[in-house]
A and B are shown apart, each in its own frame.
Chain A
């Protein structure tokens, strides 16, 4: 009996104080889920600053690793239990699924308010990942559904000291493919290692090959190939494959590159054992951790053609979406507007070594980051192409280039093999 009385008393006490706290505190708490372990301390710091400024508490909740986070967000979406703000890890089709299910707020009106001021503050290509155009293939209404927090680009980096040792100008790295291949001969003569990258993992080969495909034949022809209108045996594609043979023959590629994982490539470059690396902008943070004195610069992959501009992969590194069902969506949008403002973006960039999504903050960030960010003008990404290549074709493409590098197959053989698989995939799609 006594126990029952105590229980009731405690229950009432909690109810009364719980309710009164709710009533007294009119400022909402914005809950944000994310997976970015490296950015969490900076987020927490900004949350404190925002609370001081506005009185609104921002609760950043970290769920890592990213696989766990991905599952958590999906489960919460299924249970209609998402927080006020969240990120979606995955492809554009994943974002489309969330939008279709009514989980994501359309931010177009906010972005376009005050003469597009918020929208124009971002790199346009960073926004593209979260944007659906008119009559898009995903069947989503036109609009902007996410806020890019930071961006990334994948480019080449070069070691200034080693370049000088080779007799090359460290302030003017190779701009064209012939210049790059010439450097290969010098590197070989000096007994150095040339280009390192995670080419054991196929996607980085796919990335560089696509950069050259855009440079040689232009975006339209690349997309036409994915649609099945142009064959991989087209002379332009053979030229793309042949670039890898030229690189191999020139000695620019490091020994064992085709079985190299990116972590090893990063170690080699950071330890000044390789002259060039092909890596994403995340490397700024990695190199800083491995060798704080490393002097390097970022450059676009050397052009193989003057017909079309060189393209690199890039876009929004991570984005936040506002829960369309949140009670505090207005406050959430206001916070994201503040978070992506110049000063906050510059702070995030300096604290985490990620590239800011706000183009106006470039002057306030370290030069090593700024040079990667400037590459955004050349950025593209499969996520914004609207068409995607079959996984089996992508796989054959990457493995084929590996075969060219080890001298096992010619560019023509690889082109024929990739096309054979492409035709099989097209036949399968037609049969559907």
Chain B
């Protein structure tokens, strides 16, 4: 399989804190990759470096073999990487449909039609005329996913898509991701919900103190002693989840 997204020896420090330490990660095209690790292990920092929100001190980021290190977020989005945030970031004073059109390259009828299709796909089309600030947290998560889809990105980075939402919505999000993945979309997902990660991802990478400690299929990762150590001995078996969420 082709590697679509790759980080190579990425270092990032904030003052004296080494957030990323020689972090190398590969996401193959058409897969759903998971990125897990304890709090403060550098997952979101890696997302920020990939999407241009933070500059790497050293190291490189590649998309389909093309170097995209330290490119600005607007260009990263145009190049084909969309992302959501751990805490949802929507445009509260705009309507749901206007939120979608911000991400669209055009504001014409075709763009509106496509935006409505995305809203229907995630299940909140009925709210298109409402102010986004009035949406519930779960609906905001779906809106974020929908407007990332507007530009038809090759890779979608989801930061805790199942965080803080109820089980039925987690199932709904899982289903949408599976459907998009089957249509060819590649995902990189940061998530603390081990059941969600292990059930959805083809590959899982584990970060600890900014460095990759393990990478492989979920079945292997959940029994890897380095991973268990990184999680302070917590059981990663979804049948017996003991992780902090």
* A and B interact physically: no
Residue ranges of B at the interface with A (Cβ–Cβ < 8 Å) = none
Residue ranges of A at the interface with B (Cβ–Cβ < 8 Å) = none
